[in-house]
Structure 1
């Protein structure tokens, strides 16, 4: 059974996403999306860095999260935006899947 440790927040049960690929969550005071892609789960900031569109309304395919407003997409390994767009990368945060739940690991940009 996993235990809470400093720098980690329990997001919910391991099956929190159910059959969905993109789910909005709140971790502390931070609004994020959980994204499942190819058997892994990653957390990302919920607001698109371009104009703040709600990425929980986007969709994921081929390792990319697509913004529902402008159709820019973000690489789920490094957050980089698709070619043709000139704004910062999407912030991503590691998620650990354990028997006791999904855990978000905080870093300096989210803490």
Structure 2
């Protein structure tokens, strides 16, 4: 397992950590991240909206997009791009692998 906060593969816990939730906040090293389940797909994102830092764990997920709870902006969960009409950087995304021994995050 990689050291927290460093590049590498980090075990996050069991694959059933979501329960019935779509958004699960986690801390990896000093990074505040958000695990997002959209259908069968799981991805990790930075937890703070790149616009004004809103806590995205208070948002909602649907149709392949993560919606900011403070603004009308939403982010594509495939590439992090922001919805039309907004001019700030994309949301940072991190790969999550669902394996027999749980969820694995890839940083780097």
TM-score by length of 2: 0.92
Equivalent residue, structure 2, for 1:105: 106
Pair 1:74-2:78 in alignment: no
The Cα of 1:71 is off from its aligned counterpart by 2.0
Pair 1:36-2:37 in alignment: yes
TM-score by length of 1: 0.90
Q: Deviations over 1:20-64 (max 9, x none)?
A: 101100111110000001201000000000000000000000000
Moved over 4 A (4+): none
Paired residue total: 104
Equivalent residue, structure 2, for 1:95: 96
Which sections of structure 2, spanning at least 5 residues, go unmatched?
A: none
CA RMSD of aligned residues (A): 1.1
Which sections of structure 1, spanning at least 5 residues, go unmatched?
A: none
Looking at structure 2, the residues matched to 90 and 7 of structure 1 have their Cα atoms a distance apart, in angstroms, of 20
Equivalent residue, structure 1, for 2:9: 8
